[in-house]
């Protein structure tokens, strides 16, 4: 007689093939994902334990491999699969915007940034370079730092914008604390970068702060 979990896996696969994962609970998504890395075991308890520890699906995907492997049932393969899912999603979003007119709204910028920035524990400052038609050229991380201490170098941003033939840029950083209200340092940084780029006629079209609570757009709030 087959173990109960084998029949359950068949039912979950059938459910997925018929309707995808729309409307699924986070534990069901994780349970199904773990089918591909954990054999001969019921993955529902593992998925629920992951959510107990990391709170949300995003929290699970943001966790490091070492953190994931502390959960009973998560081995090297399962931890690697979680990391792969996050990286493939990030790459997919990047490829989707390359060479296209993008970011019609701050919300679209947030959709692009949140995969790579939302769950980070340290503060990261990123620049998105755009051409004359508002098409994505490239994005790059300019600095990484401990919480609230990311160092920003306007001169380097100016140099890179010139090299990439950018006409405008969107700057962004994350708030690991979850707070979305820009600090005085955030406002000063925005002005400092804007002033430096204005000298070479490159505009900062927005500064987007990303956190677990959502996003804050300087443009939407009349700060830029």
The answer to whether residues 14 and 61 belong to one domain is: yes
- 32: CATH: 1.10.150
The answer to whether residues 114 and 207 belong to one domain is: yes
Is 187 among the domain residues? yes
> What integer pLDDT is reported at residue 3 of this predicted model?
65
Over the range 116-131, which residues count as b (16 or more CB within 10 Å of their CB) and which as e? bbbbbeebbbbbbbbe
Asked whether residue 147 carries a pLDDT value surpassing 60, the answer given is: no
Is 62 among the domain residues? yes
Asked if residues 112 and 100 have their Cβ atoms less than 8 Å apart, the reply is no
The answer to whether residues 64 and 160 belong to one domain is: no
Given the DSSP bridges, would you call strands 203-211 and 168-174 parallel, antiparallel or unpaired? parallel
The answer to whether residues 146 and 114 belong to one domain is: yes
Mean pLDDT for 146-158 is 74
> What integer pLDDT is reported at residue 153 of this predicted model?
82
Asked whether residue 112 carries a pLDDT value surpassing 90, the answer given is: no
The answer to whether residues 135 and 163 belong to one domain is: yes
Domain that holds residue 135: 101-217
Q: What is the mean pLDDT of the chain?
A: 87
The answer to whether residues 26 and 83 belong to one domain is: yes
The answer to whether residues 75 and 143 belong to one domain is: no
The answer to whether residues 74 and 53 belong to one domain is: yes
Asked if residues 125 and 142 have their Cβ atoms less than 8 Å apart, the reply is yes
> What integer pLDDT is reported at residue 58 of this predicted model?
83
Q: Which two tokens stand for residue 1?
A: 């007689």
Instruction: Give pLDDT tens digits for 114-128.
Output: 877 877 778 889 999
Asked if residues 116 and 208 have their Cβ atoms less than 8 Å apart, the reply is no
Is 223 among the domain residues? no
Domain boundary residue, one of 92, 116, 137: 92
Split into its structural domains, the chain has a count of 2
Is 222 among the domain residues? no
> What integer pLDDT is reported at residue 108 of this predicted model?
84
Percentage of the residues of the chain whose pLDDT score is greater than 70: 93
Q: Which two tokens stand for residue 56?
A: 């949300």
């Amino acid at each position: 007689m087959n173990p109960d979990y084998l029949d359950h896996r068949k039912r979950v696969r059938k459910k997925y093939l018929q309707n995808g994962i729309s409307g699924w609970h986070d534990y069901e998504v994780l349970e199904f994902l773990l089918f591909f890395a954990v054999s001969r075991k019921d993955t529902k308890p593992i998925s629920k334990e992951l959510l107990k520890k990391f709170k949300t699906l995003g929290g699970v995907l943001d966790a490091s491999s070492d953190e994931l492997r502390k959960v009973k049932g998560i081995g090297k393969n399962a931890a690697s699969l979680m990391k792969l899912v996050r990286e493939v999603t990030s790459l997919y979003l990047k490829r989707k915007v390359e060479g296209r007119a993008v970011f019609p709204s701050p919300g679209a910028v947030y959709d692009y940034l949140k995969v790579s920035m939302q769950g980070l524990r340290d503060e990261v400052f990123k620049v998105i370079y755009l051409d004359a038609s508002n098409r994505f050229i490239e994005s790059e991380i300019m600095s990484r730092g401990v919480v609230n201490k990311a160092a920003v170098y306007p001169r380097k941003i100016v140099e890179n914008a010139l090299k990439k033939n950018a006409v405008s840029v969107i700057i962004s950083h994350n708030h690991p604390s979850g707070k979305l209200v820009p600090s005085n340092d955030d406002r000063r940084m925005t002005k400092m970068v804007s002033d430096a780029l204005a000298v070479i006629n490159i505009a900062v079209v927005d500064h987007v702060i990303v956190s677990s609570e959502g996003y804050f757009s300087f443009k939407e709030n009349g700060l830029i």
